[in-house]
Structure 1
């Protein structure tokens, strides 16, 4: 049951990314080009994603999911150094390539070798961050 729900949810998410234009790198770059030919349509896509999520956090506070043990806790609201650094790296990658993790996965079937290269680089970065963070944290504690 969980696998079927995950498959349907993932397919719906991927279709939504494709229909909304989030997998179109030229559209994303147009959204990020606020000093030039700015395309604000993705702002509506993001708002359309955030508003239902705000409502969902409120509605699920005292409930349990159909296919799981518990809903995840709401994200922390504190601004930390790792959060800022991760946001900067995310923004640089998004601006250079025009893709972020969800759309990169959704576009892998038609993104060509450039999409596959981006996905490989993204997965390598995700794999490398935990040991790098442990190393940096241990050096910070030692000083």
Structure 2
């Protein structure tokens, strides 16, 4: 059952990303080009996502527990550290350069554009490198 639900959630996400234009790197790059060919339409997409998330979390977290898990898996860390800020900055720079975020790139794999495959491979390599580096650096004090 969990696999079926995961499939449908991913399908809805992919369709939403594709219909909103967030899988189109040209549209994303135009959103970031405020002083050039600025396209503000993605601001409405992100704003809509924030509203749905805000309402959805309040609704779902009132339930006694999730339907397919033993408990809700929510982040417990609340402090801002160098890893979080650095990772966020790296994500933003990569999004601005490539026009893809990982969430938008995965549905775009269906376009079979070579750029998408290069981006997804680069993200996978970055994840692998980050995990490898974690084994060599001490964990931050909690």
TM-score, normalised relative to structure 2: 0.88
**Equivalent residue pairs, number:** 140
1:76 is displaced (CA, Å) by: 4.1
Give the distance between the partners of 1:72 and 1:21, measured in 2 at CA.
30
Q: Deviations over 1:5-34 (max 9, x none)?
A: 111110010000000000011100011112
TM-score, normalised relative to structure 1: 0.88
1:137 is displaced (CA, Å) by: 3.1
Please tell me whether the aligned partners of residues 31 and 39 of structure 1 are also in contact (alpha carbons under 8 angstroms). yes
Q: Could you list the runs of 5+ residues in structure 1 that have no partner in the other structure?
A: none
Q: Which residue of 2 aligns with 1:35?
A: 35
Q: Deviations over 1:86-122 (max 9, x none)?
A: 0111011101110011111100121421111111110
Please tell me whether the aligned partners of residues 57 and 74 of structure 1 are also in contact (alpha carbons under 8 angstroms). no
What value does the CA root-mean-square deviation take over the aligned residues?
Answer: 2.0
Q: Give the direction of change, closer, same or farther, for the CA distance of 1:27–1:85 in structure 2 (3 Å limit).
A: same
1:58 is displaced (CA, Å) by: 1.9
Q: Could you list the runs of 5+ residues in structure 2 that have no partner in the other structure?
A: none
